[in-house]
Structures are given as C-alpha cells and as structure tokens.
Amino acid sequence: MTAHERILDPCAPRLTDPDTWSAFGAQWNSGEQRNLHCCAVLDETHDVKSFWFTCPDFRALSFEPGQFITISPVIAGQTLARCYTLSSSPTRPFTFSITVKRVPGGPVSNWLHDNLRAGDTLRGSGPAGSFTPIGHPARKLLYLSAGSGVTPLMSMTRASVDLGADLDITFVHSARTPSDIIFNAELTRMQTLSPGLRVLNLCEGQGAHSDWPHPLGRLDLALLARWVPDFMEREVFICGPGGYMAGVNALLQEAGFDFQHFHQESFDISRLDEETLEEVAPVADQQADTFTVTLSRSGKSFSMSGQQTVLAAAKKAGAIVPSSCSQGVCGTCKTALLQGTVDMQHKGGIRQREIDKGLRLLCCSKPTSDLVIDL
C-alpha cells in the first residue's frame, strides 16, 4: 500500500451531504490563509513524517510540483510560521502532504512530530515558490537531492508518473544511511511502473544495513559520470542542505555544465541571526550608515546599520515579527512600511501590487533612510 492509498482517516470530513458537492472543486487560491485538516500522519523514516491534509471545505489546492506552503501552528501561545514543500502531486489536489524532518532543537519540526495528529487543524498559506519544472520544458531530467531535500523532487516525480509523462528522469538521492532514505519503497515501486524513471540511492554509511549492496560515499564527478553518463544533457533540479548544494555546484562547474539548465532550492535558513548582526562592519565604519527605525504600534525605536536586514534588527530589538524562510521567498514577514525607504532584494515572496501599496519583506530589506514600520 502506498502513501497515496492510505491517506483517509475516520476523522476526515466527508462529502456525504449532497449540498456539499456544490463546493467541490473550488480552488484554494495562492496567498489565501486557510484551515488545513490533518487527515493522516505517516512515518517515513525514524526522524521524518509526512502529514496529509485536506481543506475542510473540500477545496482543491492548485500548485506546481516543487512549490511550498507556509504553516503557522500556535506553539506555547506563539504563532510560528515555517515553509514546507508539498511532497504530494498536484495531480491529486484534494489531499496534499508535507514531509518534515526533525531538526534538533527546532520548535516547529519537533512540535509537528510530537503533536500533530489526524483530526487536528492548522492554518496554512501559499502555495508559493519558483523551484518548479513548469516553464523549463525538458524531456531528460536529473533530480539530485539529499535528506529532506527529496520533497520537491518527489512531488515532481509523483506528478510525472500520475500523468504518464514520457520523460527520462534519473533521480539520485543522497542519505546518511539506508535507514535515512525517504520514500524508498514508493520510489522503487514507481520505478517499476514507469520505464523512464531511474532511482539511485547513495548513502554515506551502511548504518545497521551491513549487507547494503550499493556504493557508499558522497556524490562526486566520477560517480555521477558513471551512474548518469549523459548528465550534461539533462535539466538539473537539486535540493538539499547547504553543504551538499555547494558540493554539487562545484562538481557541475568542474564538468563545465551549462547552468542555464540548473535549478536549485535550499531549505537552509539564514534565520534572524545573531551571527548576521555580528557580521556587520565595526561601529566606526557604520556611522554614515546607521538609521533609526520606529515601530508605529508600540512606539519603540532602535538604531540599526544599513548592512543588516530590518527583520534581524527588529527581532534583536525585541519586536515580534512573523517570519519563516528569511530569504524573501515565503511572504511571511510582509509588513507595511509607513515612512522611509529600503533596498529590498526579494525572491518572489511579494507581488508588485503589494509593493505599490507600501508593503515590504523585512527579511530581505535593508534600510536606506530612517524608517517607520507598522509593527
């Protein structure tokens, strides 16, 4: 039985009343916050679970494979927002999943693992993100992932198998040990159903599997060339931790790969960061570059360097600002700028019409004057 076949639980809302069919098929629009009904929780590995959801009003979630949603659980009285890629396929839009790896000490990933159960409800928004094959048509694809970075590529693979797409996909997934391989059984099964899909797992160590028959180690150019001799001809999608991404970038550069056919997403967060604050230039160098930020609701103000993001400085000053990706992707830190100007370098987390209305993403905005913000 696959995850797709196991997702309904007795608590899930059901289309039993004929009137409810009238709502059936309505879409959940991007950017809207909605209640998500958790209909199943599945263990994928010892530290990874998939959480399956429906919208209680039976809306379909329209998304592109590779996109993420932002969920906002209330934990110890505080609403925390985090992005999670949809690991399910957009071809099945009424029940959708996120797949979450525990991050040691991380508040949201651990809370989800320890508390979220079938029958519970969460707030969620999105979908968003530009790490998707839509708009990059290619028949020959190379998916490279490590750890929980498998999720967007799993969505892409599930979608192409569901669609019976005539694609040539090689999927190379890296994991610490065989027990850490996420979706191993389902990918193996999909491989038997679709002649164009080839799945290869690379583990750093054997763990408890002393009979693991495959090579061990990290992906390098020699192994990639051996396993995927035509990798230079493929459209590459890669997702994983920062170190893995840097390593793969370096080996593709060494091979002379054409980076126009390269698409990447990292889940690594340069969150808030006392480190970011410490990285700024010495005080003497900053004087011409120091601004005053006033929080209109609390009346609080603080000084900050023009080299810091407003989010990092506001959090450091004790303001509560919702945030998630810290990369200008998810839109969680969108806030009205009432006075002043910032240099905002976002990655799709805000629309032009919102910018025109005076909203800014504080995680990727650096001040270029004194500011008043709606906080």
Interface residues toward ligand FAD, by CB under 6 A: 68, 82-85, 98-101, 103, 105-110, 129, 148, 151, 241, 267-269, 271, 325, 329
Binding piece for ligand FES, criterion CB under 6 A, among 85-93, 202-210, 292-300, 321-329: 321-329
- 363 lies in the site for ligand FES, by CB under 6 A: yes
Listed in sequence order, the residues at least 6 apart from 56 whose beta carbon sits closer than 8 Å to its beta carbon are 13, 35, 37, 121
- In degrees, to the nearest 5, what angle opens at C-alpha 277 toward C-alphas 272 and 280? 140
Indicate the residue among 184 and 335 with the shorter CB distance to ligand FES: 335
Q: With CB cut-offs between 5 and 8 Å by kind, which of ligand FES, ligand FAD, none does residue 293 bind?
A: none
344 near ligand FES (CB under 6 A)? no
Distance linking the first and last C-alpha atoms of the chain: 49
- Which of the choices ligand FAD, ligand FES, none does residue 267 contact, using the CB cut-off of 5 to 8 A by kind? ligand FAD
- Minimum gap (Å) between residue 341 Cβ and ligand FAD: 27
CA distances from 85 to 117, 166, 368 (A): 19, 25, 33
| Residue 271 contact among ligand FES, ligand FAD, none, beta carbon within 5 to 8 Å by kind | ligand FAD
Q: Two tokens at 286?
A: 């900053």
Based on the shown chain and the rule CB under 6 A, indicate whether residue 323 belongs to the binding site for ligand FES: yes
Looking at 90, 178, 240, 328, which residue binds ligand FES (CB under 6 A)? 328
Q: Which residues contact 344 (CB under 8 A, 6 or more apart)?
A: 328, 350, 355, 360, 361, 364, 365
Name which of 40 and 330 has its Cβ closer to ligand FES.
Answer: 330
What is 304-357 written as a DSSP string?
A: EETTS-HHHHHHHTT-----SSSSSSS-TTEEEEEES-EEE--SSSS-HHHHHT
Three-state SS for 171-213 is EEEEECCHHHCCCHHHHHHHHHHCCCEEEEEEECCCCCCCCCC
Residue 148 contacts which entry, ligand FAD, ligand FES, none (Cβ below 5-8 A, type-dependent): ligand FAD
Binding to ligand FES by residue 331, rule CB under 6 A? yes
Quick check: 73 binds ligand FES (CB under 6 A)? no
Contact 182, 115 (CB under 8 A): no
Q: Which residue of 153, 333, 337, 342 would you call a contact of ligand FES, by CB under 6 A?
A: 333
Token representation of residue 335: 């806030």
The one of ligand FAD, ligand FES, none whose footprint includes residue 61, by CB under 5 to 8 A per kind, is none
Report the residue count for the chain.
375
Contact 161/173 with Cβ under 8 angstroms?
Answer: no
Q: 158 is in the binding site of which of ligand FAD, ligand FES, none (Cβ under 5 to 8 A by kind)?
A: none
CB of 44 to ligand FAD, least distance (A): 10
Contact criterion met (CB below 8 Å) for 179 and 272: no
Contacts with ligand FES, residue ranges (CB under 6 A): 323-326, 328-333, 349, 361, 363
